[in-house]
Chains A and B, each alone.
Chain A
Amino acid sequence: GQQVQQSPASLVLQEGENAELQCNFSTSLNSMQWFYQRPGGSLVSLFYNPSGTKQSGRLTSTTVIKERRSSLHISSSQTTDSGTYLCATMGYKLTFGTGTSLLVDP
């Protein structure tokens, strides 16, 4: 079955620094979805990105299907960005990665 690996597992930044989160997957897929999971557990969909690059504010997602990877770039990080970032590959279901736990210090 599909294997989804995220790196790094955890990351600590100073406010204002940039972050690059990686997601690698083992087999071909229909699309990729990135989520932010709040400390309380609820999920916020950040990007639905079958391929190419999408940007929303300080966030940029790039998916390269042939290379079986996707990345999430956070620019000028803020303390409110702290939380867990999940990538998920899409077939008939979402297969989630293990997540990157981000802490942004003031």
Chain B
Amino acid sequence: GPKVLQIPSHQIIDMGQMVTLNCDPVSNHLYFYWYKQILGQQMEFLVNFYNGKVMEKSKLFKDQFSVERPDGSYFTLKIQPTALEDSAVYFCASSLEQGARGGEQYFGPGTRLTVL
């Protein structure tokens, strides 16, 4: 089936540093998402992105977070500066549409971020 790629698979950084997580979504998809899963906890929505804009974001999407997809390249999540509580696995997803038709989301394998 359609594949979403994420780079890197693991990232270890010191608190306060900047990190960029990269996602290569399904090629013809138009909607992009980031989700966060702390170890042993529920998967939670961070943000969705369409037509170059953030459409919706949750309370977890702090001011230190930003997303972009310049010129149809990687869809990125940037955290600057990082905090200890940002340690989690971040999943990228994409979908062709939203809603009942075509809204199936395809997920990448995740990036495990560890903030020391």
- Which residues in A have some Cβ–Cβ distance to B below 8 Å? 30-31, 33, 35, 41-43, 45, 48, 50, 86, 88, 90, 92-99
- Asked if B37 contacts A31 (CB within 8 A), the reply is no
Chain A residue with Cβ nearest B37: A41
- In addition to A30-B98, A42-B110, A98-B42, 11 A-B residue pairs with Cβ atoms within 8 Å of each other are A30-B103, A31-B100, A43-B91, A45-B1, A93-B45, A93-B58, A94-B33, A94-B43, A94-B105, A95-B45, A96-B42
Measured in the bound complex, the distance between the Cα atoms of B109 and A22 in whole Å is: 25
- Cβ–Cβ < 8 Å partners of B42 in chain A: 96-99
Chain B interface mostly helix, strand, loop or mixed?
strand
Determine whether B99 belongs to the interface, using a CB cutoff of 8 Å to chain A: yes
Chain B residues 26 to 82 lying within 8 A of chain A, measured CB to CB, are 33, 35, 37, 42-45, 48, 55-56, 58
On whether the beta carbons of A33 and B105 are closer than 8 Å, the reply is yes
Interface set of B (CB-CB < 8 Å, partner A):
1, 33, 35, 37, 42-45, 48, 55-56, 58, 89, 91, 93, 98-100, 103-107, 109-110, 112
Q: Is the interface of A mostly helix, strand, loop or mixed?
A: strand
CA distance A43 to B37 in the complex (A): 12
In the A-B complex, the 8 residue pairs with the smallest Cβ-Cβ separation, listed nearest first, are A48-B104, A93-B45, A96-B43, A50-B100, A43-B107, A42-B109, A30-B100, A31-B100
Q: Which of A41, A43, A45 contacts B104 (CB 8 A)?
A: A45
**A41 to B35, Cβ gap below 8 A?**
no
A48–B93 CA distance with the chains assembled, in angstroms: 14
